[in-house]
Amino acid sequence: MALTPGAAIVGAAIGVVVEQSLRNRSVINFFNWSESMKIKQAKLLAAAVATLGALLAMPAHAGKTLDGIKARGQVVCGVNTGLAGFAAADSAGKWSGLDVDVCRAVAAAVLSDPEKVKYVPLNAQQRFTALQSGEVDILPRNTTFTLTRDASLGLSITVPNYYDGQGFMVTVKSKIKSAKQLKGQTVCVQSGTTTEKNLTDYSKANGLNIKPVVFEKLEAAENAYFTGRCVAYTTDASGLASTRNKVAKNPADHVILTDLISKEPLGPMVRRGDDDWFAIVKWVMYGLLEAEEYGVTQANVEKMKSSTDPVVQRLLGGGNEDTGKLLGLDKEWLARAIKATGNYGESFERNVGPKSPLGLPRGVNNLWNKGGLMYAYPIR
């Protein structure tokens, strides 16, 4: 049944309203039936309408996104315009990064090929419209999960792939050591971000009278800071590390303050209303975390297929249980994703970890059993 989510909600609502009306004595008295008949018929009618409501409320176009992906042979992935470590293209046009790995892993799971991804670079303002309109299938673009974004954009938040917080970068020369020392100062910030809102909140809450200098484009905000237009530049701490490393003439001239003024759980979003696609993205993310937890790596995934550990068997499609079937995929969906990007820890180390150019510590992005927040729901 092809129904928009709006129609489904109306259907369910009609069921509830009619059931409640029929429970109301004044409505029943109006028909002047005998008391028992009234109740029996009211119950029957209520049940019928409630069932119709529930039927109407069933997901519209289950699997429509996946059908489209299969038909075109590509996952269309909305990414950053260029944030080294998360999503950036090299001179040959090859994309890499922690967010890019989400696209690659999903493409490996659903199309058996991590290369079958079309990358659409999106700035902060463009990103949600691109997903809402269907221009992209998935949006892994250093995007913070918030209530407003979850509840008002017609989009769904999936699973964080990087827990971050908002920070500030200043010049070493400024001798500023903490965010509170930014009282009355200019701070460069990009519009259409949580960053812009957090900055205003933080300034207000602490009586700092910070003067935001707002730019629509990332390069403009970065350039303004590096040319001395602002005393500080603010964004997610990971973004600051990326900008300092890639854009600063001399990274050692800039310091990222240790103060974080917000929580920024970053992760991919999908369009609301396609539960099957939502589930696939979610479980690919969980699967890569579970692979790390159980020691399945890019290098050993083939060998691990003959593991006798039931958990590993389930991850790699070795035992009798077929998790792929439940997602509309085949048995090896996750084995392919792991082979494409490595498990979550491997992707983290390669793209943003201590030995990468960004040099970010694993910190809260470690697994739950190693003191971090990364906790996969069980693949079973």
Ligand X SMILES: N[C@@H](CCC(=O)N[C@@H](CS)C(=O)NCC(=O)O)C(=O)O
Q: How far is the CB of 144 from ligand X (least distance, A)?
A: 4
Among the listed residues 119, 138, 113, 139, the one whose alpha carbon sits nearest the alpha carbon of residue 339: 113
The strand pairing partners of 233, in sequence order, are 169, 188
Return the residues of window 120-159 that contact ligand X according to CB under 6 A. 123-124, 142-144
Binding of residue 195 to ligand X (CB under 6 A) = yes
CB 123 within 8 A of CB 83: no
Total binding residues for ligand X by CB under 6 A?
A: 18
Stretch that binds ligand X, among 40-48, 102-110, 190-198, 248-256 (CB under 6 A): 190-198
Task: Give the C-alpha separation, 144 to 160, whole Å.
Answer: 9
When binding is defined by CB under 6 A, the residue of 19, 101, 137, 264 that contacts ligand X is 264
Please, is 362 exposed, middle or buried when counting C-beta atoms within 10 Å of its C-beta (0-12, 13-18, 19+)?
middle
Q: Which is nearer to ligand X, 190 or 203 (CB)?
A: 190
Specify the residue, 126 or 366, whose C-beta has the smaller distance to ligand X. Answer: 126
CA gap 118, 95 in Å, rounded:
10
Q: Does 280 bind ligand X (CB under 6 A)?
A: no
Binding flag, residue 190, ligand X (CB under 6 A): yes
**Burial degree of 243 (CB within 10 A; 0-12, 13-18, 19+):** buried
Half-sphere exposure of 11 (CA within 13 A, CB side): 17
Residues 236-255 that bind ligand X (CB under 6 A): 236, 239
Q: For residues 32-91, which are near ligand X according to CB under 6 A?
A: 80-81, 83
Instruction: Please identify, using beta-carbon distances, which residue of 190 and 343 lies nearer to ligand X.
Output: 190
- 38 vs 272, beta carbon nearer ligand X: 272
Q: Are 349 and 297 in contact (CB under 8 A)?
A: no
Q: How far is the CB of 194 from ligand X (least distance, A)?
A: 4
Residues 288-347 that bind ligand X (CB under 6 A): none
365 binds ligand X (CB under 6 A): no
Q: Which of 185, 194, 262, 347 binds ligand X (CB under 6 A)?
A: 194
- Answer yes or no whether residue 99 interacts with ligand X by CB under 6 A: no
Q: Which of 3, 49, 157, 218 binds ligand X (CB under 6 A)?
A: 218
Give CA–CA dist 43/220, Å, rounded: 64
Nearer to ligand X, 158 or 193 (CB): 193
Q: What is residue 27's three-state secondary structure?
A: helix
The Cα-based distances of 91 to 96, 171, 248, 315, 368 in angstroms read 12, 29, 19, 36, 37
Q: Which stretch binds ligand X (CB under 6 A): 168-176, 233-241, 270-278, 310-318?
A: 233-241
Residue from 350, 379, 353, 357 nearest 365 by CA: 353
> Which residues form the interface with ligand X (CB under 6 A)?
80-81, 83, 123-124, 142-144, 190, 193-195, 218, 235-236, 239, 264, 266
